[in-house]
Amino acid sequence: MSLANIEITLLTAKIFSKSIYAPGEIKANGYTSYIVSPRTESVIISRHAILGEHVEKGQPLVTLFSESVAEAQANYRVTYSEWQRVKKLSKGTVSESHLLKSETDYSSALGRLTAFGLTKQAIDNIVKSNSSNLGEYTLVAKNSGSVLSDDFSQGQRVAAGDKIMILANEDNLWVEARISPKKKLSLPIGTLAKIESGMQVHEAKVIQEAHTIDPITRTRIIRLMVENSDDTLHSGMFVNVHFQLDTQAPVIAVPETALMRGADGDWTVYVEDHPGEFEAVEVKLGQALGSYRQIIGLATNSRVVTKGAFFVASEISKSGFDPHGH
């Protein structure tokens, strides 16, 4: 037994960890990313950021021209001047209704420019300089992040709501894992998983589970969150997802090396019923548990050959003894 490196293990039922594989794809965090788009039909004049660039909050992204914005800017210039003039008049010089109308017109003009996406500084510049180009306005980054998409050309006319850029903070990303609905897996929020991308391994945890089946792939989507502080993961990458789970109850399991095929093709393990004496016992296989396999049909506290089973099987075969009576 020593020369053959035979190892005997006393088997007891216990909780085992197991890994469930699923293909996955890295996605931008939908809660920290946003689409840069005009709020009115416009023509793109120039770009200030490119694909893959990291931009800071407030950084200019793209300058556009719009007839609607030009009209709104001109109206704001007029209403602002009128409101400033009326405010300076003493009470009794101007009626309450005229004062209210002037303020309302100014607030309406200001609100319209804000709705178009103009910054406070850009709005202030409209009345500071009469030489400012009416109709031109610049969209800026609302948050820091990376440019994930910039599919447009200078001079292109875009409609309200058209996607110009997508910005996302990639410090943490989503992973969408796809699992066959036939697998009755319980993956509650907080379930841990390992994300493999090439030689890189990241830890992630389940944050959401879709309650519908994807009509194209016929799979259910499990969404995970993964930290990306080293900036090695990017939206669109395909990854391997390994969910880390524990068995729901204690089970008996042996290393894969302990399992052998019997003469009739059934799975067997070798039990030491007396010191140095082994008996082949048929078992049924249960769930895979990493490098271990659950076995069914073996009494707890059995002493099983977990290393060197092939040698034991060979010696029994040489003796001509058939444990199944065949």
One DSSP character per residue, 74-101 reads HHHHHHHHHHHHHHHSPBTTB-HHHHHH
Q: Is the pLDDT of residue 277 over 90?
A: no
Start-to-end C-alpha separation, the chain? 27
At residue 320, the pLDDT reads: 57
Q: What is the pLDDT of residue 137?
A: 95
Extract the tokens encoding 229. 């502080």
What pLDDT, on a 0 to 100 scale, did the predictor assign at position 132?
65
pLDDT at 80: 95
pLDDT band of 120, cuts 50, 70, 90: very high
pLDDT at 34: 86
Given a contact cutoff of 8 angstroms between Cβ atoms, the answer to whether 11 and 254 are in contact is yes
Q: What pLDDT is stored for residue 133 in this prediction?
A: 82
Six-digit token string for 303: 């002493």
Instruction: Give which of 246, 298, 304 is closest to 271, Cα–Cα.
Output: 304
List, in sequence order, every residue forming a beta bridge with 65; answer none if it has no partner: 43, 136
pLDDT band (50, 70, 90) for residue 90: low
Question: How far apart are the C-alpha atoms of 18 and 187, rounded to whole Å?
Answer: 13
pLDDT at 319: 66
Could you tell me whether strands 60-65 and 172-179 are parallel, antiparallel, or unpaired per DSSP bridges?
Answer: unpaired
Q: What confidence tier does 160 reach under pLDDT thresholds 50, 70, 90? A: very high
Cβ–Cβ under 8 Å, residues 16 and 289:
yes
Confidence of residue 324 (pLDDT cuts 50, 70, 90): very low
Rounded-to-integer distance, Cα 152 and Cα 309, Å: 66
Average pLDDT over every residue of 175-201: 87
Rounded mean pLDDT, 185-204? 89
Smallest CA-to-CA distance from 196 within 169, 171, 177 is with 177
Which helix (H) or strand (E) segment holds residue 243: the answer is strand 238-246
Mean pLDDT of the chain: 88
The average pLDDT across 260-267 equals 85
pLDDT of residue 325: 43
Q: Does the pLDDT of residue 263 top 80, yes or no?
A: no
pLDDT tens string 136-149: 999 999 888 899 88
Is 185 exposed, middle or buried, given 0-12, 13-18 or 19+ CB atoms closer than 10 A?
middle
Mean per-residue pLDDT, 185-208: 90
Q: How confident is the model at residue 186 (pLDDT cuts 50, 70, 90)?
A: confident
Rounded CA separation 105/80 (Å): 8
Q: What is the pLDDT of residue 152?
A: 92
Q: With 50 as the cut, is the pLDDT of residue 164 above it?
A: yes
Strand residues in 106-184 grouped as ranges (E): 136-140, 145-149, 157-158, 165-168, 172-179
Question: What is d(CA 112, CA 117) in angstroms, rounded to the nearest whole number?
Answer: 9
Exposed, middle or buried by CB within 10 Å (0-12, 13-18, 19+), for 202? buried
**pLDDT in the model for residue 322:** 52
Distance of alpha carbon 172 from alpha carbon 231, whole angstroms: 9
pLDDT tens-digit series, residues 38-73: 999 999 999 999 998 999 999 999 999 999 999 999
250 pLDDT above the threshold of 70:
yes
